[in-house]
Amino acid sequence: MRILPTLFLLLCTSILAEAQNAAPVMTKEKLKVVFQLTSNDTLVHKALVKQLGNFLTAAPNSQIEVVCHNNGITFLQNAVTKQADKIKELKAKGVDFVACENTMRERKIKREELLAEIRTVPAGIVEIVLKQKKDWAYIKAGF
């Protein structure tokens, strides 16, 4: 009979440990968030994809756009980014990745040099302002 309390304790401990590891959905509300990325720091890029994943886990119905301009354009360049696989995964979950055409022109970056999953806009800053005018929340990516 002493085995039953021990089994029960092990089962409860296992269930509690699993519950702590699973991130709960915090809201089913459809949040709209635009992230601005201007850094070419690969640690910032890594942190951003982690933040995006965590955000979608907590608020899975959200609409997210990442606007990359200035040095942040490297995040979307085939030959430079270390996050191509993560970007593809996030795109499949609905995250929209956007490159600034002004930055592309200034740095002589052709569309073919960017990941296929992204789209371009004429001006990254204007895209962010337009999103904010439509009540999107704004987050500056980086440290």
- Model's pTM, two decimal places? 0.82
Residues forming beta bridges with residue 119, ordered by sequence position: 98
CA–CA distance from 73 to each of 16, 90, 97, 142 (Å)? 42, 17, 11, 14
Q: List all residues 6 or more positions away from 69 whose beta carbon is below 8 Å from its beta carbon.
A: 36, 37, 38, 99, 100, 102, 103, 124, 125
* Element housing 121 (H / E): strand 119-121
pLDDT at position 43 over 80: yes
Helix (H, G, I), strand (E, B) or coil at 53: helix
* Element housing 85 (H / E): helix 84-92
Each residue's pLDDT tens digit, 93-138:
999 999 999 999 999 999 999 999 999 999 999 999 999 999 999 9
**What does the pLDDT average to over 63-76?**
98
Domain at 25-140: CATH code:
3.40.1260.10
CA–CA distance from 76 to each of 24, 26, 38, 90 (Å)? 30, 30, 11, 13
pLDDT band at 17 (very low <50, low <70, confident <90, very high): very low
Output b/e per residue, 92-118; b: 16+ Cβ within 10 A: eeebebbbbbbbbeeeebeeebbbebb
